[in-house]
Amino acid sequence: MCGIFACHHHPDVQKFKPTALRMAKAVRHRGPDWSGSFIGDNTILTHERLSIVGVDSGAQPLVNDDSSLALAVNGEIYNHRILRKNLKTKYNFKTHSDCEVVIPLYMEYGIDAPKHLDGMFSWVLWDKKQDRVVAARDPIGITSFYLGRSSTTPGAVYFASELKSLHPVCDDIIAFPPGHVYDSKTDKLTRYFEPKWWDPTNVPTTPVDYKVLRHSLEKAVRKRLMAEVPYGVLLSGGLDSSLVASIAQRETLRMQEASRKASKAELAAAAELVGIDDENELSTVTTFQQLHSFSIGLPGAPDTAAAMEVAKFLGTKHHAFTFTVEDGLNALSDVIYHLETYDVTTIRASTPMYLLSRKIKAMGVKMVLSGEGSDEIFGGYLYFHAAPNRDEFHKETVRRVKNLHLADCLRANKSTSAWGLEARVPFLDKEFLETSMGVDPADKMITKGRIEKYIIRRAFDTTDEPDVEPYLPEKILYRQKEQFSDGVGYSWIDGLKDAAEAHVTDEMMKNPKPEWGSDIPDTKEAYWYRTMFDEHFPPYCAGTVERWTPTWSKQTDPSGRAISTHNAKYDSAE
């Protein structure tokens, strides 16, 4: 990940520059490798870089030959080589960065440029000739992005990767909506991402094709191995991260084998061939290393044992870290500062991920693959057992995917970026989403004899394919869902509740702050997190926060353990 701060139509941009650089510094944790800035007329772009692709030449902001276009990007464009090859007009690329292709795309397609991108991204582009700024965010909102305005500089518009870069200079801030493009010529946000599944009333009827589903996820993982730096996988031991790790390990081993057999010239030719072939596939692995996997939990956590079993099965170099409840409690204020939310579920799950990311970065790894998105796509949360019918099941999966930028994407992006680590999420690949969200929800529903997320489990079950090596041990492939905040150890959530009980009195619960309006915390834990959020951010930042709540459930606690299905499953196993 990288960090962006930008402002367009500022009344005195030269005078504002020191402030802009200070705002950029607030997100330097996202991009500790280099800092850059660009001023053109009344616009300033700043960039804090984490170098993953084009390491030696990709410093930003990027500019074209006559400096009439300037660009700051946070993210990864996985199809950049394909796009370079298919440009209608030759463009003089100055770097090997995957991000530079946005400039010639804009030159050809204008504000339709983001429609052609396959990746995760937030970017701001300045067009001198039109005195115009165009900004865009990826379809699902994997990268964090905000838009702000200030009553002291009417007419100016501000952009930043995180709230902490905007609230000192803006008093009106929104989360930049995923799948949208902003055009300063109209001062409007327009949706560019309009897949078939976006309308929840358009319920798909296509039956599941297990092999298509499998191959689609494999392709999504392959393209996300595009890197020139050490990478790894987050391996909780649950289904989603284990599948990602399994596919990544297969691809890594395949490329290692190819490198052993080929000469240097053959390797270069093969990379070019696979890099842009007739099917527009990407050659993704550019570093031939042993795959590292990482997990974290309290001592004796359910996920840790499962992760170690998966790692042994796959042959990854596994690192199982532990933390204590006290470690987590000590980090809470910092976690909320980096997350920029007070949602209970997000904070519970993000704290171990935040601690793990610090350990991973200390080992020299800069990019990891993670399993976010699967539960939303396939109805993996245990409350989906209560879905009344296929239409409601589909409607809820669409709602969940649309809100990922406020929950699991926010967690994955900001927990890792806090330490200059980049997380990539294959389940949220555009093509995979089109495939998986286009499946008849009747096939996804949890019925007698069918565990949650059955179809993705079945897609990777090779028991009837003797020529295919198993992807995972059967007990992992059909392991019941554990939410990450539960899987790291049940005493983690219990410890949070106990600490909140000590910090928040009954009297405080009866007298919430007036500035909270109708957004009143309903538990002491939620109240505690909101007070910590208020220590870092002014009240108007709360408008960017959404609290995670399950549907078809009367539970007040969002933990998976609070759902009877979880208890029944584990009680029967004892």
DSSP classification of residue 100: G
- 315: region left, alpha or beta (phi > 0 left; psi from -120 to 50 alpha): left
Residue 473 to residue 23: CA distance in whole angstroms: 48
Is the CB of residue 526 less than 8 Å from the CB of residue 501? no
Residue 465 to residue 471: CA distance in whole angstroms: 12
Q: Letter for the amino acid at 460?
A: F
Query: In 207-295, which ranges are continuous DSSP H helix?
Result: 210-223, 239-261, 264-275
pLDDT at 342: 98
Find the distance separating the first CA and the last CA of the chain, reported in whole Å. Answer: 43
pLDDT at 260: 75
Strand partners, 191: 180
SS3 386: helix
* Residue stretches of the chain with pLDDT short of 70: 54, 57-58, 263-289, 481-487, 555-556, 558-574
Residue 76: enclosing H or E segment and its boundaries?
strand 69-77
**Selection from 530, 529, 504, 163 nearest residue 331 by Cα:** 529
pLDDT, tens digit (0-9, with 9 covering 90-100), for 278-312: 344 444 444 446 899 999 999 988 889 999 999 99
Give Cβ neighbours of residue 156 (< 8 Å, ≥ 6 apart). 7, 8, 9, 10, 11, 149, 150
Structure tokens belonging to residue 481: 């869902």
Query: Nearest 5°: CA angle at 552, between 546 and 556?
Result: 60
Q: What are the Cα distances from residue 192, in Å, to 4, 8, 189, 421? A: 21, 22, 9, 29
Query: In 363-426, which ranges are continuous DSSP H helix?
Result: 374-378, 390-402, 408-417
Structure tokens belonging to residue 186: 């109209």
Q: Letter for the amino acid at 317?
A: K
Query: Which residues are catalytically annotated?
Result: 2
What is the bridge-based pairing of β-strands 180-183 and 188-191?
Answer: antiparallel
Residue 566 to residue 480: CA distance in whole angstroms: 8
Query: How many residues are there in the chain?
Result: 574
Residue 291 to residue 248: CA distance in whole angstroms: 8
Structure tokens belonging to residue 251: 């691809």
Give Cβ neighbours of residue 564 (< 8 Å, ≥ 6 apart). none
pLDDT at 568: 53
Q: Which runs of E-coded beta strand occur in 101-222?
A: 119-127, 132-137, 146-149, 157-160, 172-175, 180-183, 188-191
Domains and CATH numbers, the chain: 3-194 (3.60.20.10), 210-500 (3.40.50.620)
Backbone angles phi and psi of 311, in degrees to 5: -60, -40
pLDDT, tens digit (0-9, with 9 covering 90-100), for 446-463: 998 899 999 999 999 999
Backbone angles phi and psi of 162, in degrees to 5: -140, 155
> What strands lie across the sheet with 188-191, from one edge to the other?
62-63, 69-77, 119-127, 132-137, 180-183, 188-191
SS3 41: coil
Structure tokens belonging to residue 101: 């292709």
Strand partners, 190: 181
Give Cβ neighbours of residue 476 (< 8 Å, ≥ 6 apart). 237, 239, 242, 306, 309, 310, 313
Structure tokens belonging to residue 293: 């996997």
